[in-house]
Amino acid sequence: MTTTPFDAPDKLFLGFDLSTQQLKIIVTDENLAALKTYNVEFDSINSSVQKGVIAINDEISKGAIISPVYMWLDALDHVFEDMKKDGFPFNKVVGISGSCQQHGSVYWSRTAEKVLSELDAESSLSSQMRSAFTFKHAPNWQDHSTGKELEEFERVIGADALADISGSRAHYRFTGLQIRKLSTRFKPEKYNRTARISLVSSFVASVLLGRITSIEEADACGMNLYDIEKREFNEELLAIAAGVHPELDGVEQDGEIYRAGINELKRKLGPVKPITYESEGDIASYFVTRYGFNPDCKIYSFTGDNLATIISLPLAPNDALISLGTSTTVLIITKNYAPSSQYHLFKHPTMPDHYMGMICYCNGSLAREKVRDEVNEKFNVEDKKSWDKFNEILDKSTDFNNKLGIYFPLGEIVPNAAAQIKRSVLNSKNEIVDVELGDKNWQPEDDVSSIVESQTLSCRLRTGPMLSKSGDSSASSSASPQPEGDGTDLHKVYQDLVKKFGDLYTDGKKQTFESLTARPNRCYYVGGASNNGSIIRKMGSILAPVNGNYKVDIPNACALGGAYKASWSYECEAKKEWIGYDQYINRLFEVSDEMNSFEVKDKWLEYANGVGMLAKMESELKH
Ligand code: ADP
Ligand code: XUL
């Protein structure tokens, strides 16, 4: 008899990842082992999309990027069908959770609840749910059609104030802007006919449950509507989204139309479900009859894909996950609500008094590749794509040499700046002097250390404010701001910095003693460039986390995070107690071979001048 990875475990968990291009399901067991992955690419089941989306460029929706909602329903049936053919034991699945692309929204009709509750296992989901939606397409996170709404949100609220309330300034893709576009200028009549609005995450959970469920709190932070600290929708932001804002829509403040518009949108969105381990309910009978799921299989709330990524790893408070892909994304776990218009804050999906900070840089790998090409050219390296020369130079540069460059071949998001390159030297009088490549004190080799240093220092400047107050965390791995026993006098470091450079500002906010002296707890590196030991050792030496640097390989992070959320929730429910998620997930250190820690020389102090230099250089960038 053939054996399968599912023979031994009694209980299985499913983690979904509905991303832009595919639906993936990962199967795990109670010991957090990933047993198998199934997936379906949207382009293979729907001929109207390319890479999962449709781009529209008409007058009203210039720059719109959307996905057919039925395609996602077809994908669900398709992947379950594949699993059935594979002999997958659906009856062993006790818990399901998952993650989805963030910000997208699904618009349910008034008949949707009835349709969902009467699904017939003999026919497919999409064929039965034709009348369940008012808009047949969902906006995708790549959508850029809401320039008008972006301007309106920021005009009446202000970028910084909006970030203070909702965790982010206005972004094209954020749900509140998308809703305003529909309610005011795209199809107001369809908006009016909409009974409920789900995020993509709560939409998938709703289909699995057979009824419309609440929006999950961490994903709700990607809407520009939710007041994160007060943990409720903000009424003025709802008024903007609903098209009843006094300044924008000429509606009387607090008048009948104003109140009705806000209340109607509140009803459509429904209550936000606070972070919890409690299940949403059992899987719908459609899936039990059609595929053989256990009727007791629990559905736990789904979250956003970036949020699921942080729960796929044993991340504790003050840990940073640095993703070195084409662009660089830094995810931080923090107890500190320190919003900025330059990054995003979300609630943490499994640790209720924590947040996830997300910094997205545009110039990452491609900028480093340009420097690599420049040195390979100078040294006549035959293999133009080789990183050997770059690494050899980088390995030799151990300390900060008072030279720093900013490399933005593309316009940058953080700091918000035009495409440009700036090289500067700190002279003996502590003056920052601009230089050019080819000057006697700046050769292509200087760009090698300089680009990795400035990219890392930018991360240090922006993670500092998020980390600073989190040092009192009660988490198992203590997140003290300095390594124990380190004799560094932090006040002296701070005073020296201010004496040399004056007050330092980042993205309009003054850096404090705490923000300039905080260190991350651990740093994890993922993505293409994390395969380069020289780059991540340099980054690790500058960020100098208190409890070490790790290179990790997590190919299915979003799906895995969903599966772990399911198994953690299941265990909490079984024990009827809240198990700290960081404590639960620490088991991964025992079971995973993918977590490689690496040693670095701690150069945190040596790079203090770099911190001051970068802050000053950034203040002079062209916009
Ligand atoms: P994506 O963001 O598209 O998922 P990846 O995570 O695969 O991309 O990262 C791709 C980037 O990783 C490339 O642009 C490349 O510059 C970088 N990269 C891959 N291997 C190395 C290496 N050994 N050294 C430095 N950079 C690398
Ligand atoms: C995050 C974002 C994307 C999508 C990708 O703000 O828009 O990362 O979540 O699916």
| CA 421 / ligand 1 centre spacing (Å) | 21
Is omega for the bond preceding 415 within 30 degrees of 0, making it cis?
Answer: yes
What angle do the packed helices 235-242 and 256-269 form, to 10 degrees? 90
For ligand 2, atom 6, name the residue with the nearest CA. Answer: 102
Cα 118 vs. chain centroid, distance in angstroms? 35
What pLDDT, on the 0 to 100 scale, is given for residue 175? 98
| CA 554 / ligand 1 centre spacing (Å) | 15
Q: Which atom of ligand 2 is nearest to the CA of 142?
A: 7
Tens digit of pLDDT for each residue in 529-542? 999 999 999 999 99
The token pair at 577 is 């107690």
Tens digit of pLDDT for each residue in 56-71? 988 778 889 999 999 9
For ligand 1, atom 26, name the residue with the nearest CA. Answer: 529
Beta bridge partners of 96: 14, 299
What pLDDT, on the 0 to 100 scale, is given for residue 483? 61
| CA 484 / ligand 1 centre spacing (Å) | 35
Q: Which domains does the chain have, with CATH numbers?
A: 12-304 (3.30.420.40), 317-552+595-623 (3.30.420.40)
Q: State if pTM tops 0.85.
A: yes
Count of all residues that appear for the chain in the document: 623
| CA 616 / ligand 2 centre spacing (Å) | 31
Work out the burial of residue 438: count CB atoms within 10 Å of its CB; fewer than 13 is exposed, 13-18 middle, 19 or more buried: exposed
What pLDDT, on the 0 to 100 scale, is given for residue 590? 72
Tens digit of pLDDT for each residue in 266-303? 999 999 989 999 999 999 999 999 999 999 999 999 99
| CA 211 / ligand 2 centre spacing (Å) | 26
Taking CA atoms, 224 is separated from 99, 180, 359, 616, in Å, by 19, 11, 17, 31
What pLDDT, on the 0 to 100 scale, is given for residue 485? 55
User: Do 320 and 524 touch, CB atoms closer than 8 A?
Assistant: yes
Tens digit of pLDDT for each residue in 127-165? 999 999 999 999 999 999 999 999 999 999 999 999 999
Taking CA atoms, 356 is separated from 165, 167, 344, 470, in Å, by 15, 10, 8, 12
What pLDDT, on the 0 to 100 scale, is given for residue 203? 98
The token pair at 85 is 């053919």
What pLDDT, on the 0 to 100 scale, is given for residue 58? 80
User: Do 15 and 559 touch, CB atoms closer than 8 A?
Assistant: yes
Q: What are the DSSP E strand ranges found in 335-390?
A: 344-347, 355-361
Give the pLDDT band (50/70/90) at residue 486: low
What pLDDT, on the 0 to 100 scale, is given for residue 596? 87
Ligand 1 neighbourhood includes 532 CB (under 6 angstroms): yes
User: Closest-lying ligand to the alpha carbon of 360?
Assistant: 2
| Residues 6 or more apart whose Cβ sits within 8 Å of residue 210 | 116, 117, 119, 283, 284, 285, 286
Residues with CB under 6 A from ligand 2: 19-20, 101-103, 141, 173, 222, 304-306
Ligand 1: residue of 19, 51, 326, 383 to mutate (most ligand atoms within 8 A of CB) is: 326
| CA 528 / ligand 1 centre spacing (Å) | 3
What pLDDT, on the 0 to 100 scale, is given for residue 192? 98
What pLDDT, on the 0 to 100 scale, is given for residue 481? 55
DSSP code of 300? P
User: Do 202 and 100 touch, CB atoms closer than 8 A?
Assistant: no
User: Closest-lying ligand to the alpha carbon of 18?
Assistant: 2
pLDDT of 357 over the 60 cut: yes
Least confident range of 50-54, 301-305, 411-415? 411-415
Tens digit of pLDDT for each residue in 241-264? 999 999 999 999 999 999 999 999
For ligand 2, atom 1, name the residue with the nearest CA. Answer: 102
Work out the burial of residue 204: count CB atoms within 10 Å of its CB; fewer than 13 is exposed, 13-18 middle, 19 or more buried: buried
| CA 323 / ligand 1 centre spacing (Å) | 10
* Residues above pLDDT 70, as percent of the chain: 96
Among candidates 367, 538, 327, which has minimal Cα distance to 453? 538
Q: Which atom of ligand 1 is nearest to the CA of 372?
A: 25
SS3 422: strand
Which value, in Å, is the radius of gyration of the alpha carbons in the chain?
A: 25
| CA 222 / ligand 2 centre spacing (Å) | 9
SS3 554: coil
Q: Which atom of ligand 2 is nearest to the CA of 20?
A: 10
Ligand 1 neighbourhood includes 261 CB (under 6 angstroms): no
pLDDT of 474 over the 70 cut: no
| Residues 6 or more apart whose Cβ sits within 8 Å of residue 158 | none
Three-state secondary structure readout of 165-221: HHCCCCCCCCHHHHHHHHHHHHCHHHHHHCCEEEEHHHHHHHHHHCCCCCEEHHHHC
What pLDDT, on the 0 to 100 scale, is given for residue 322? 96
The token pair at 556 is 């299915």
What pLDDT, on the 0 to 100 scale, is given for residue 469? 61
The token pair at 494 is 């701070």
Average per-residue pLDDT in the chain?
A: 94
The mean per-residue pLDDT over the stretch 345-367 comes to 95
Please give the Cα distance from 515 to 512 (Å, whole number): 5
SS3 323: strand
| CA 392 / ligand 1 centre spacing (Å) | 18
Better-scored residue on pLDDT, 588 or 78: 78
Q: Which atom of ligand 1 is nearest to the CA of 366?
A: 14
CA atoms within 13 A on the CB side of 249: 23
DSSP code of 8? S
Among candidates 336, 444, 429, 284, which has minimal Cα distance to 380? 444
